[in-house]
Copies of this chain bind each other. A is one copy, B any other.
Amino acid sequence: MSSSPSGPARWQKLAQSTLAQTRVFELNSIRYRHPVRATERDFVVAQPPDWVNVVALTPDHRIVMVRQFRFGIDAFSLEIPGGVMEAGEDPVAAGLRELREETGFAGTSARLMGSVHPNPAIQSNRCHFVFVEQAQATSATEWDADEEIEVLTRPVAEVLELAHAGGITHGLVLDALLFFERIWRSRAAP
């Protein structure tokens, strides 16, 4: 009915081999040994760089959003700006960079709201969530080749309602809004 008295074991990582190397992640097979049973087994792990997503709030309390065609789901998706961090890059700096490149917006008081593991079962990386205030359009966008992004802003209440009602389906964007919603509610509290 519950776990063994000693609890789940920490497996020992032995070695890994590459199954596939793609533009977005390395797919590896990692061999682990159980410390008690001494059995060995291979587990598949995707190893992308860390990612960052940004909640950028304008002076009139709107959130900067992006809408783009997403090849993973073969459909459009309404999201907040974000992308892949560069090696050694600070999450806040990366968030400000992605915000600028994707939307042309810049802001102040950028800070880290929280971080998650997108999928601890089969994926090694983290996704960081950055909160930027006083966001304003200040520069031209710098899209990658084949990147086409509709940039829009929406009132905070509308974005949070969309998040809860299924209008925003990107799981990591919803994570960012979970962290943001608490900040927002604490400010709105009487």
Q: List residues of A whose CB falls within 8 A of some B CB.
A: 1-4, 7-11, 13, 19-20, 22-25, 27, 29-30, 32, 34, 39, 41, 43-46, 67-77, 79, 104, 114-124, 126-127, 137, 139-141, 146, 148-152, 163-164, 166, 169-172, 174-175, 177-179, 181-182
Nearest-neighbour CB distance to chain B for A38, whole angstroms, equals: 12
Given A119-B172, A177-B178; A44-B69 close (CB under 8 Å): no
Residues of B within 8 A of A77 (CB): 117, 120
Cβ contact within 8 Å between A118 and B115: no
**B121–A72 touching, CB < 8 Å:** yes
Sample (11) of A-B pairs whose CB atoms are under 8 Å apart: A1-B104, A2-B151, A10-B76, A19-B22, A32-B71, A39-B146, A43-B71, A75-B120, A77-B117, A116-B170, A120-B170
Q: Compute how far the CA of A181 lies from the CA of B174 in the bound complex, rounded to whole angstroms.
A: 13
Which B residues are in CB contact (< 8 Å) with A1?
Answer: 104, 137, 139-141, 151
Q: A69–B11 contact, CB under 8 A?
A: yes
Q: Which of B8, B22, B139 lies in contact with A27, CB distance below 8 A?
A: B22
User: Of all chain B residues, which has the CB nearest A19?
Assistant: B20
Q: How far is the CA of A16 from the CA of B32 in the complex (A)?
A: 32
* B70–A121 touching, CB < 8 Å: yes
Query: How far apart are the CA atoms of A46 and B164 in the complex, in Å?
Result: 26
Cβ-neighbour of A178 out of B79, B124, B152, B178 (below 8 A): B178
- Provided the pairs A10-B69, A124-B73 are in contact, do residues A174 and B166 lie with their beta carbons within 8 angstroms? no
